[in-house]
Each structure stands twice: as C-alpha cells, then as structure tokens.
Structure 1
C-alpha cells in the first residue's frame, strides 16, 4: 500500500481521535455538575493522550490529489473502529481502576453497541463514567449508520450491496449528494435522542437517567445506569424504551425519504413491514404464553415480553427481569431471536431481517422450479430483481457469519468456558446483542468473571459482527497487501 494512501488514512484517523478527545469534555462537565470534580483528572489525562495522538497523525498533513479507493476503505473502516476503541478505553482504565483488558472490552462493547459489560455497582458508579459509556454507544450507533449507508455498499461487503440495490431509498436517489444524506441522518438521530430524553423524563426518570438511556436506546446499545437495567424504572419508561429501540432498528435513509416528502417510504418497504410484523406477532403470542404461565396481568405480561423481545431482536441488550427463569421454551426462543437483528441502515446488528426475507424468496423460487422445471421464475425483493451478485453476496455473508460464531465459540470452549456460555457468548458478541444465556453471562449476570483471553476473543467477535465480517477478513489475505 502506497505511502500517500497510508498518510491520508492516518490523517482521517487523527481527526477521529481529536473528535474523541473533545467528546471527553461532556463527562468532565457531568462530573462538575454532580460534584465529583476529584475524578476529572482521569478524563483530563485520557483526553490529553488522545488529543496528542490525533495531532501527531494529522501533522504530516493531508496528501494532495490522493483519493481513497474502495479497497483502501477496508483498512480505514477497520482501523478507525480499533484505534478509537484503544483510546476510548483510557478513561475507564484510569477512572475505574480496572485492567486495560476490561476497559477495552467495555469500550468495544460500547462502540459496537453490543451492550455486554464487565462492570457492576452501576447505581453508585461515577456519573462521568456512566455518561462516557452512554456516549460511546451513541457515537458508535451514528458511526455505524454512516458506514452502512456510505461505505459498505461501495465495498459490496456482507450483503450491504443488496441494501444499496434493493432499497428504494438508494435506487431512487434519496439525495443528490451523499454529504447531504449524512446531514439529514445526523439531524434525525439527534432529534430522536432529544425526543427520547423528554419522553423518558416525562415517564419519571431523572434528567441524568433520561439522557443516558435515550442515547443507549436509539443507538440500540443497551448500557444502563443501573444493575437492574430497565427493571429499575416504571412501565411508562418501558414503553418509551420499546418505541426508541424500534425507531433505532429501522433504516435511517427511509426517514430521510419521509422528511423529503415520500411519506409512504417506511410503510412500502418490505424490510420494514417484515420487521414490524415479525415483532408484533412474536410479542403478542409470547405475551399470551407468559400471561397463561405466570401471575402477571395480560398487559403486564405483554409489556415485559415486548421489552425483552424488542431488546434482543434490535440487539440492544436491555433486560427486564431474568427471562431465563421462564422455562426452556423461553430460553430457546430468545436464543433464536439473538440472530435476527433489525433493518439494514439502522443501528442494530444481527443477520438483519432482509436476509431472512431474501432467503424465503430464494426458497420459494427453488420449490417452484422443482415443480415446473422449464419455467422461467423471476426472483424479486422489494420491487427489484435478485441477480447473481446479490445472491452470492448474501450467501457468502451468511456462511461466514455462521462460521465466525462457531470459531469464536470453539475458542471460548478451548479457554475453558462451558457450552452454554461459549455458544451464547459467541452468538451475542457477533450479533452485537449484549447478554447471553446461562448463570454467568445471562441477563442477570455480566462478563467480569471471564478470563482475559475470552474477553479479547469476544472483542474480536464484536468487531467482526459490527463491520459485517468480510470487511475485517479481507485484511488478513496476502493479496490485499500486495497492491
């Protein structure tokens, strides 16, 4: 890779680090407001180190007349996530006095909006620490949306090419310039966050809890200010949380279309309709089941089930009670839901609902072809033809998605974790969900007791899942570095 290309990548990374250093001012202000000024020193040191590294990267300057090729974006995308996590972990390492391994795990989980945590005692934790965790998820959420709508389709990575081709928001050209799309998306993201803060505050939360939970709800991240997660708050807050998680799971480019006058954009999209229908049926049927098998009133059962189901499907990771205590059928259902995910171009992780829809289209076409061997059967999704490239892309991603989970689970088993912890830990990391299953990493536990090697392996799994796997794997091929 040419030196000018590495310089421009370094320049961009420097800008990211300077922005991250400036972002540390908000937790500092939080510490001042809540009279924890003695804890500011940790953020000051972390900010200075991050700022110095950013300035060092931009000092050589931006090379003139050098444009990043699509292949260069693989390195930039992966490097930006890793480098930002390396420095964003510093405040946790300095303030919380935890090992750098735990700090990096917590940060990777935050910025990839996974929501797995090694921290406990959150109800009495430093307000600056809680604010920084929430900010990590909020920044990671908007960062992934930007990558999903601007970079991954260009790279034709992991099925995102399908999103570019199939979604009406791209094929009909939402905006003539991509930077205008980005401005609209940021405005919508900030707007949802502010509305969430007000709604949480009206539901009975304090301003501090409302700000933190709004950031981690719209980003489908799941970090809470309490060890009890959403169990600390009342029913009104639960419904606010559900709405925000659903909003964060829908394609943000369709929000742009709606703002620009195409008011049917969301309702006409097959992906959105499939996602909402799946959520509605799952929550209603599971709510009925819980009502019949517990002492809850129907509306309470529906609320509890809906929050937990939406949290897992949207890969947010909030918990309302320990659903693993509901019986084997509930455990199995939540394990299946771990893989689903939200819509493409949203803040959620997982396989994404459109891949299941396309798989159904392909299955239906294959069955019809068996019945009518000579027939020419059109395969369409969302009003567009499914060509060979799209089918190959989705099959490739789905294959490596499964292989990655299996490889991480095998690695965790080799480290010494039991079957349930290894398998669900791998699944929740790659799907960016948060809690796993079992007594250790289930919704009532956390990841603190896992060996350091397991935390580093899970961090790699989170990164692979967030960046759609292929983006990272291509960097490991010798061919990538030869040209």
Structure 2
C-alpha cells in the first residue's frame, strides 16, 4: 500500500471531487449495461466493444475509489466548479469508448465529438448510415442524450445522499434555474425532477409506439425528444417519419414538454395545476413560438405549400430549433432566404430555465427587455424610481448583472469559435452557424455542409475539437467554465 501513498498525497486537495466522479462513472457504466445486454441477446459483435468499455470504466472507478477511500465528501465552492466541468468532460470521454471500439470504429476525435454532442444534448453528428448501426449503438446514442438531458449533477444529487449538504449550490453550477425551491431539500427536488423526467419519457415512448413508430425508434426518439437532444436512428433524422403528421405533432409536443421548467411540473403535481400557464417565462416562450410559426407558415403558404403541410412542418422545425432539440423533418434551408435568417436567429433563443434545453434561455431575453424599458423611462424621467418585476418578484441587481455577463460572454464565445473555424478554412455560413449551434446546443447548422441535410463528418479534426469546447461551454452556461480560467480561482 506504500506505493499508493504518493498518489494519495497528490490527490488529497481534490479527493472529494475524484470520489464523486468515480460514482458518476459508475452510473455511466450502469447505463451502458442495457445496450450491452441487447447486443448479447442479438449475438452482435458490438457486444465486445461494450464489454471492453465497461471493463475500462470499472477499473478506473476501482482505482479512484481506492485512492480516495476514507475521504469525507465535503465539497467546497471551488471544488464544485471543478467537479461540474470535469464530470461532463470525463463522462463524455468514457461514453465515447463504444464508438471507437464498436462497428463505427470512429477516430478518437470523431468519437469524442459524437459523445460530447450526445451528453450535452446538442445533437450534431459525424455518423453516416445510422440506419446500419447495431440496435445497441442506436440505443446507446439515445441513452447518452437522455442522461445529459437530466443533467449529470442533478442525477448525482438524486442518487448520492452525501451531496445533500451544499447540493443547491452544486445544482446552480450546472443549471441556470434560479426559481424558488418547491421542496426543503435539494435531494428531494432532484428526485422529483427525475420522476417527472421518467414519466414524460414513458409517455412519449407509449405515444410514439401507438402512433406507428418502430419500437426501438419509439424508445430512442422519446429519450431524445424529452432531453431536447435530437439524435435519431436515421440519417434523415425525424424526417424518416415526415409522411406521418401525427408523429410530427407528437414530436412537437414532447420537445416542448422538455423545454418547460421541470420545477413547474412538480408544483403542478403538488396541487397547482395552473402554474405552467401563469409563469411569465412559459408564456413568453409560447408567444415567441406562435409568432414564429404564424409568420413562417404564411410565408410557405404564399410560396405554394398546402396550408396543413406548411403548418405541420413549420411547427415541428421551429419548436425543434427553439427548444435546441435539433431534429429536422425537412431541409428548411431550401425554404428561402427569410426562413434561413429566421432559423439562425431562433438558434440563440433556447427554452426555459430549469429545462433540458440549451440556448440563452427565454428569461434572459425577457429581463433584457425589462431593463431596456426601464432605461427608456429614465431618459424621460431621470429622477424616477422604477421597480423591475419578473414573475411577481422584484428583480435584484445580481440577476441583472448575471444576464449581462452571460449574454456578453455567450456572444463572445460564439464569435471566438466562429473566428477559429474560419481560420481552419470553413466558409462564413458554416463557421458562424456551426459556432452558434454548438454553443447554443442546437445541433444542425446552416449551409450545405452542416445544415439539416448534412452532418459534421467532413470537418477537419481541429474544427471538431473547437466545436466540442463550444458545446461543453454552452451546456455549462459559459461562466462555470470561464471561472476555472481566472488566476484568482486557483489562489489558495
């Protein structure tokens, strides 16, 4: 045991982080068992890839637990930020193993890109011929997105009792949800959130299957709809069912369900059924969706598309982009210049705070509009005092500063990644839309290469790594990652 003394001493300051990471890796391994069993049942050679992946993960878990045994789990604020970032990076790395070892035999860069895209629920893909993948790999792609949708830290709080102390602080390092607690303990909130997530996923599986979807597709698309992830079992994405309007409308409904605040579902279940409609954030998102759908539907009807077909296709694709799901039932870049610009703008929006969707989130746009209105009032009444209210509460300066800081760094990150992509030889549309779709965790970009009808396979490896950074930063809401880069964070 003396040989372990030096590693233990080196790990001592970060031992609680390593120990929690080990448990998260164990959770990932537990998720990996299901597709492995499916492949064993079918006698598929990909079963070996999952077996080797499980062995690697479990060996790493055993070593991490051995090096950190007898370590009390008391996470300090600095450790929480490191844990949050490392959990997403390491889980994505381990999740990529079956893609390297299995039938796709992706390069390391492609496999990591695919897994980060899955875990962050972005939905960009480098795979071609997805229909030919084994059932186990199709299921694994959906499960990765489902795991990422609920949030790795939320799952940790739900399953690890020793994280109840400081759990809310840890929760906020991963999520933008700043709504009032509906339960006295963070663990209770996390478990209730998981219950809602499981219930909605089960309902989606049942509805998809009853409406005529193949069983495996029903399971995978249910997981990727509620996680607003966007992976599908076909290169055509949800377009494989484009001729079945009922499935498109069901997909629209479940994508929207995943983009609503989960805390409101909990409140509704606890006796406040009208809380969803009364929430200012939900009403704002629904209003935006209605306006976008009406405008684009009218545009398509005037272009000669039958009204119901136009309404169905527009509703599905607008909801897909706004909720950052990233499904495509049609190549909307062929609809004309106006839809292309509209979809590019909608890429940045995102769903509600406390949901599975990415993007900037509706509440930030609403708070920005409230701030603008107050600023205009000050120009007229320079000595006036105007209280800003949101959802019935007075907005404090901390929230306003947070919105300004996040918005600035969000667009700065998009601009920086777009500049990097252009230096790698990508055209303006591909570079700009690729950066936007990565940081907003949407999925498809614009143009012939990474648009709804294309994928990211032909991009250079350096571009894929850059987009991986963008996807992780977007999923962790930028500031959680940036704080790790400041000198003051690492000062003792």
Distance 2:173 2:434 in 1: 22
Q: 1:72: how far off? A: 1.5
CA displacement at 1:206 relative to structure 2:
1.0
2:15 alignment counterpart: 7
Give per-residue Cα distances to partners, 1:23-43, cap 9 Å, x unaligned.
11111122244x243221011
CA contact (8 A) 1:5 1:66 kept: no
Select between 357-366 and 379-388 the one with higher mean Cα deviation: 379-388
Point out the more displaced range, 222-231 or 52-61. 52-61
Q: Is the Cα contact below 8 Å between 2:167 and 2:187 reproduced in 1?
A: no
1:48 aligns with 55
- Give the match for residue 438 of structure 1: 447
Secondary structure of the 2:286 match is helix
Does 2:133 align with 1:118?
A: no
Q: Sort the Cα spacing of 1:82 and 1:411 in 2 relative to 1 into closer, same or farther, 3 A.
A: same
- Whole-angstrom distance in 1 between the partners of 2:91 and 2:153: 17
Shift of 1:447: 0.2
Change (3 A) 1:140 1:160: closer
Find 2:275's aligned residue among 234, 242, 265. Answer: 265
Per-residue Cα deviation, 1:139-167 (whole angstroms, up to 9, x for no partner): 00011682899989737979967x42xx3
> Does the CA contact (< 8 Å) of 2:28 and 2:95 recur in 1?
yes
CA deviations 1:202-225 (Å, max 9, x no partner) are 111111110000000000000000
| Cα distance change, pair 159–189 in 1 and its aligned pair in 2 (3 A) | closer
Structure-1 residue corresponding to 2:38: 30
Deviations 1:236-290 (A, max 9, x none): 1111110110000000011111111122221111001111111122112211221
Structure 1 partner of 2:348: 339
* Residue of structure 1 equivalent to 2:146: 138
After TM superposition, the score normalised by the length of structure 2 is: 0.92
Q: Which residue number in structure 2 is paired with residue 412 of structure 1?
A: 421
User: Which residue number corresponds to residue 90 of structure 2?
Assistant: 83
Q: 1:62 to 1:358 in 2, by over 3 A?
A: farther
CA contact (8 A) 1:421 1:441 kept: yes
**Alpha-carbon deviation of 1:65?**
4.7
Match of 1:425 in 2: 434
CA distance in 2, matches of 1:133, 1:65: 35
Matched, 1:368 2:377: yes
Structure 2 portions without partners, runs of 5+? 1-8, 158-163
Q: How many residues align?
A: 474
Structure 1 residue 297, shift from structure 2 partner: 1.9
Q: Which residue number in structure 1 is paired with residue 389 of structure 2?
A: 380
Output the TM-score relative to the length of structure 1. 0.94
Residue from 460, 478, 490 that aligns with 1:451: 460
Alignment of 1:265-304 (within 5 A): 265-294=275-304, 296-304=305-313
Match of 2:318 among 293, 309, 320: 309
Cα pair 1:324 1:438 within 8 Å, conserved:
yes
In 1, Cα distance between equivalents of 2:167 and 2:329: 34
Structure 1: 5+ residue stretches without partners: none
Q: Describe the SS at the equivalent of 2:441.
A: coil
Cα offset, 1:64, TM superposition = 4.9
Task: Determine the C-alpha separation between the residues in 2 that align with 1:383 and 1:148.
Answer: 32
1:408 Cα deviation from its structure 2 partner? 0.4
